[in-house]
A and B are shown apart, each in its own frame.
Chain A
Amino acid sequence: MFRRNRSKGNYAYTVARVKAKKSLLLKEEDYDKMLMMTVPEISRYISEAGYNKEMTDLAGRMSGINLLEHATHLNMAKVFSSILLSSTGELYEMVSAYLDKWDVWNLKVILRGKSYGLDAEDIREDLVPAGRLSAESLDKLIALDTDDDILASFGKTTHVSFPPEVLATYKAGGNLGVIEDFLEKVHYERLIGSIDRSSRPSHLFYDYIREEVDMKNFETILKLKAEGVYGEQVMKYIISGGRKIDDRMLATMANAEDIGSMMSEVAQLEFGEAVKEALESNNLREAVLSIRKYGRQKARKFSRLYPLSVIPVIDYMINKEYEVRNIRAVARGTESGLDRETIKGLLVI
C-alpha cells in the first residue's frame, strides 16, 4: 500500500505546472489587440506576455520579424524541455515520445537549409530543440557536410533506420518529401507503441493520438484530392494506426474522384460535422483549419475529464504550439499587409 511507484510518473506536479503555464497563454482578446499593432509593437507586446527573456537575449543579433520568429521558437523549445525534464516515469516516456516530432521537424529544417545553401546561423534560427536531440546535437548535425552523413548521424542518435528504397528515392530526385513522410510514420508508430493502455486516461490518450492520425490522414487526402491525385498514389502518404479511418474507408476515400463523392465517409468521422460546411463550399483552407480547431477542442475536453493524466500536459503543448503559430501568423500577416479579417481567419484560437 505504501510502496511509491516511481514508474507511474509525477502527474500532480507536472499537471499543476502546465495548468499554471496554460493560464498565462495568450487569449482571443490578446490576438485582437495584436491585430491592431505593427510588428515592433507585437514584439513588445509578446515580450510582456512571457517571451521577454528570449526577445532580450536575441535582440542584439536580429531584429523585426526574424527576432520575433526565433524568440517564439526558442521559448517554445525551452518550455517543452522544462516540462520533459520535470516529468518522471511513464509520464516522461509519453511526453518524450510526443516531443519526438520536433526531432523530425529539426531534421527537415537542417536538410532543407542545406539544400538551399543557408549558413549554420540561418538554419539554427528555425530549429526547435524540444525533442531528444539537444541544441548541441543539432549543431553537430548542421556541421556535417553531406545529407548522407546527416541522415546516418540522425538515425544513430534517434535509433531510426532509413529503408534503402527511401534513401534511394531521396538521392535520385532530391525530394525531401519521402524522408519527411517516412519519419512522420515512424514518429506516430513509436508514439502509439509507447502508450501503456492499462489505465483509462492512458487509453484516452491512445485514442486521442489515433484520432490525430485520422486528422493527419484526412488532411493529406484533402490536399492530394485538390491536386487531382487519387488511388494508389494517395496510399503512399497514409500513416497507419488511425482510429476511425480503417483500410476500407481509406481505399474508398483515396479512390473518390473528388471531395464531393466522399461525403458519406466524411459523415462517419468524429470531426465530420466540423468540416462538413467547409467541404461543401469547397474551401480547403477552411476545412484544414476546422480540423485543427476540432483537434484543439478535443484535447481541451479530454484534459478536463482526467486532470491527473498525460492529457492536460499534451493539451498545454498543443495550445502552446498554436500560440506560437498564431503569433507568427499575426506578425507575418501584418508585415505582408494582409487585412485583419484575413489574418484572424488564419488563427487557430
Chain B
Amino acid sequence: MALEGEAAGLAAIGAGLAVGLTGIGAGMGEKDVGAAAVGAMTEDRSIFGTAMIFMVIPETIVIFGLVVAIIALFALG
C-alpha cells in the first residue's frame, strides 16, 4: 500500500534523516578512529589492513540507516 499526502512527506523526511544522521554519526566515530589509524600506520606500515578494518567499522551504522531509508521509500511506492 503506497502512502499518500502528509504521510508520504513524513516518510520521505524520515528516509532522509535515517541516512543523514547515521552519516554524521559515522563521521564523528571515524574522526578518532581515522586519526588513530593514521598515527599507528606512521610508525608501522604493515598494519594497514587491520587499520582499514577498524576504519570501516563505524561505516556499518550508515548501512543500517540506508536500509531504514530504503524501507521507507518502498512504503512511498
Contacts and interface: CB of A to CB of B under 8 A. Distances in A.
Q: Is the interface on chain B under 10, 10 to 19, 20 to 34, or 35 or more residues?
A: 10 to 19
Interface stretch (B32-40, B58-66, B68-76): B32-40
Interface string A1-44: 01000000010111111011100100000000000000000000
Interface residues of A, number: 14
A13 B43 contact: no
A10 B35 contact: yes
Secondary structure at chain A's binding surface: helix, strand, loop or mixed?
Answer: helix
A14 B39 contact: yes
Nearest to A10: B35
A12 B35 CA distance: 6
Interface in B13-62: 24, 31-33, 35-40, 42-44, 47
A308 interface: yes
A87 to B, nearest CB: 11
A170 B1 CA distance: 93
Given A12-B32, A308-B32, A20 B44 contact: yes
A19 B35 contact: no
B39 to A, nearest CB: 3
B44 A16 contact: no
A157 B4 CA distance: 73
B39 A15 contact: yes
B40 A19 contact: yes
Contacts of A16: 35-40
Contacts of B40: 16-17, 19-20
B43 A12 contact: no
A16 B35 CA distance: 8
Nearest to B27: A2
Nearest to A19: B40
A19 B37 CA distance: 11
Contacts of B43: 17, 20-21, 24
Interface string A325-342: 000000000000000000
Q: Which 7 A-B pairs have the closest CB atoms?
A: A16-B39, A20-B43, A16-B36, A12-B35, A13-B39, A13-B35, A17-B39
7 contacts: A13-B35, A16-B36, A16-B37, A17-B43, A19-B40, A20-B40, A24-B43
